[in-house]
């Protein structure tokens, strides 16, 4: 066997009702960035969790530097120089940076007594060596997601890891923060550290990838040097078919003005006004912190409104609570599905029916037969990939979790649907399915507001785009004017060229 940094041989893994991995053979060269791509549910994360000891394979072997190893826990993975940075970062908000860096391996004066002076000094030294300008006594809750990712990398390297697994590390950070992360990845590569990198973002992988492995339906399709791929080839290999258009054609004729916001002010935004027509889709663009999500949270009653008015179909409405907004036909799919969109330890069916209990009840008592009938249509319509609707939501891929979130709010039959980052962290095939679903809703007369950090997505899907910067709307862009350059100019506080 050629000596690779890490190799998998004939790895298989099954969960109840699902074969997640089938005879996986996989090799990674030392000191390279190896990108793993595939649709949601293809098996990427399962494969990485086996390498990190979170899951145990049903059969197969793992080799590191040509030697067979047994990895039965993340602790054993650490002993073999493996660290994993998860898509959903876990942390203690009240910990300081220095506490976070040494969590579980604090220096001790005597057994059981932490040497805080040494811990602080070591933290200062490590942060300086890594070239990051942090006050080690800053609390984790006061730093950005990008900062936290860099700290995770520092934790991994200072603990001796020479294989670092990154699962969708750019799903929740800005373009500027992506540049910073990629600079760090290049530094790690120069030190001989091997990176396994899961991503769905075709526009970013070619900036860092040395090799690319494509997985589909739990099997490795192929591995090739990154230079031998282009976007179309990767998409075809991932989904098993060519996608002729990334965005479906939308043939709608928006009607009269249907929903209007006038002079809305609240926490993080000021004097925001916009309108949307019946059957129209408008977008909201802006950099991280521009205030887009804050506006939408206020519109649906999650956060208080300091000033301003809301009008639906010409009549002023009050959305002081989420229930009030729902009664007015306005609902929102949150950008953070794990915190605000799903209950992972409950089933698909329970998650879908939760906002719709009245529809599945008789005399105030939940009718389980009716519950199954109601959710079955959406399970099929959204092509949710799972053994059945009783599957726990936490066992689904990110794309299928997002479909469940959409299903539960579509079941309410909203007049105005707000989608905040609806395709974040999901693959190109699942994105296309969601775009087609959005098209169907528009054709049925639903009015849609889409917040997205992906400018091609907004340009490809929206009739008009409002751009925000520092809590204010800086401009409105028509379909004819839409370019990334125009939108970015407004997002950075500039003005459109007249």
Q: What value does the mean pLDDT take over residues 16-39? A: 88
- pLDDT of res. 340: 66
The pLDDT tens digits of the residues spanning 205-243 come to 899 999 999 998 889 999 999 999 988 888 788 877 665
Q: Kind of pairing, strands 361-362 and 307-312?
A: unpaired
Cα radius of gyration rounded to whole Å, the chain: 24
Predicted confidence (pLDDT) at residue 6 exceeds the cutoff of 90: yes
CB-count exposure of residue 363 (10 Å: 0-12, 13-18, 19+): exposed
Both tokens of residue 363?
Answer: 């005399």
Question: Tell me: the pLDDT tens digits for 369-421?
Answer: 877 877 887 777 777 877 777 888 887 777 788 888 888 888 878 899 999 88
Residue 385, burial from CB neighbour count under 10 angstroms (0-12, 13-18, 19+): middle
User: What's the token pair of residue 197?
Assistant: 């990198």
DSSP 8-state class, residue 415: S
The pLDDT value recorded for residue 105 is 79
Tell me the pLDDT tens digit for each residue of 439-469. 888 888 899 999 998 888 899 999 999 999 9
> Is residue 2 pLDDT above 60, yes or no?
no
Pick from 104, 98, 94, 105: nearest CA to 124: 98
CA-to-CA distance for 271 and 273, rounded, in angstroms? 7
Spatial neighbors of 464 by CB under 8 A, at least 6 apart, are 280, 282, 283, 476, 477, 478, 479
Q: What is the pLDDT of residue 15?
A: 78
List phi, psi (to 5°) of 9.
-130, 120
pLDDT of residue 52: 92
- Cα–Cα distance, 302 to 294 (Å, whole number): 9
Residues 6+ apart with CB under 8 A from 461: 247, 250, 281, 283, 435, 438, 450
Gap between the Cα atoms of 366 and 368, Å rounded: 6
Please answer whether residues 496 and 490 qualify as being in contact, where contact means their C-beta atoms are separated by less than 8 angstroms. yes
Residue whose structure tokens are 């005879």: 23
**pLDDT tens column, 176-199:** 677 878 888 898 899 899 999 988
Q: Is the pLDDT of residue 152 over 60?
A: yes
**Residue pair 82/52 in contact by the 8 Å Cβ criterion:** yes
Query: Do 244 and 44 touch, CB atoms closer than 8 A?
Result: no
Could you tell me how many residues make up the chain? 498
Mean pLDDT of 50-61: 92
Report DSSP state, residue 392.
B
Angle in degrees, CA 128, 129, 132, rounded to 5? 50
pLDDT in tens, 84-114: 887 666 677 788 888 888 887 788 888 778 8
The label of the residue with tokens 């809590």 reads 471
| Whole-Å CA distances, 451 to 44, 249, 253, 448, 464 | 28, 20, 21, 10, 12
> Distance between alpha carbon 293 and the CA centroid of its chain, in Å?
15
Question: Using one digit for the tens of pLDDT, what is the confidence trace for 284-309?
Answer: 998 777 899 999 999 999 999 999 99
Q: 172 falls in which pLDDT band (50, 70, 90)? A: low
pLDDT in tens, 78-92: 899 998 887 666 677
């Amino acid at each position: 066997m050629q000596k690779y940094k890490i190799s998998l041989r004939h790895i298989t893994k099954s969960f109840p009702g699902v074969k997640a991995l089938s005879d996986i053979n996989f090799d990674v060269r030392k000191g390279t960035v190896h990108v793993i791509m595939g649709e949601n549910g293809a098996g990427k994360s399962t494969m990485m969790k086996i390498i990190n000891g979170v899951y145990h394979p049903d059969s197969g072997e793992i080799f590191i530097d040509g030697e067979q190893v047994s990895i039965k826990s993340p602790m054993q993975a650490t002993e073999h120089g493996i660290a994993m940075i998860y898509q959903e970062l876990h942390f203690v908000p009240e910990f300081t940076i220095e506490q976070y860096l040494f969590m579980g391996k604090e220096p001790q004066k005597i057994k059981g007594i932490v040497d805080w002076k040494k811990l602080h000094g070591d933290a200062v030294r490590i942060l300086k060596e890594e070239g990051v300008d942090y006050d080690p006594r800053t609390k984790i809750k006061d730093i950005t997601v990008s900062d936290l990712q860099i700290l995770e990398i520092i934790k991994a390297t200072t603990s001796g890891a020479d294989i670092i697994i990154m699962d969708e590390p750019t799903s929740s950070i800005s373009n500027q923060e992506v540049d910073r992360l990629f600079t760090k990845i290049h530094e790690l590569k120069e030190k001989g550290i091997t990176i396994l990198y899961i991503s769905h973002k075709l526009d970013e992988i070619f900036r860092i990838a040395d090799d690319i492995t494509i997985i589909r339906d739990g099997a490795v399709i192929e591995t090739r040097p990154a230079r031998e791929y282009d976007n179309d080839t990767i998409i075809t290999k991932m989904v098993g078919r060519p996608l002729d258009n990334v965005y479906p054609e939308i043939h709608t004729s928006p009607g009269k003005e249907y929903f209007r916001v006038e002079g809305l002010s609240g926490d993080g935004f000021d004097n925001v006004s916009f309108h949307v027509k019946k059957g129209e889709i408008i977008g909201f663009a802006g950099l991280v912190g521009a205030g887009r999500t804050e506006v939408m949270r206020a519109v649906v009653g999650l956060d208080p409104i300091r000033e301003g008015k809301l009008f639906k179909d010409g009549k002023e409405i009050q959305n002081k609570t989420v229930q009030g907004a729902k009664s007015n036909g306005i609902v929102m799919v949150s950008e953070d599905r794990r915190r605000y969109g799903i209950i992972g330890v409950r089933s698909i069916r329970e998650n879908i029916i939760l906002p719709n209990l009245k529809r599945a009840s008789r005399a105030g008592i939940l009718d389980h037969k009716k519950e199954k009938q109601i959710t079955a249509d959406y399970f099929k319509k959204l092509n949710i990939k799972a053994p059945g609707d009783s599957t726990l939501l936490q066992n689904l891929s990110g794309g299928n979790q997002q479909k469940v979130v959409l299903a539960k709010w579509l079941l309410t039959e909203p007049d105005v649907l707000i989608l905040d980052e609806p395709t974040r962290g999901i693959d190109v095939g699942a994105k296309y399915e969601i775009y087609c679903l959005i098209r169907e809703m528009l054709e049925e007369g639903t009015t849609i507001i889409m917040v997205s950090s992906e400018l091609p997505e907004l340009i490809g899907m929206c009739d008009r785009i409002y751009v925000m910067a520092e809590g204010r709307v800086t401009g409105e862009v028509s379909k004819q004017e839409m370019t990334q350059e125009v939108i970015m100019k407004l997002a950075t506080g500039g003005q459109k060229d007249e």
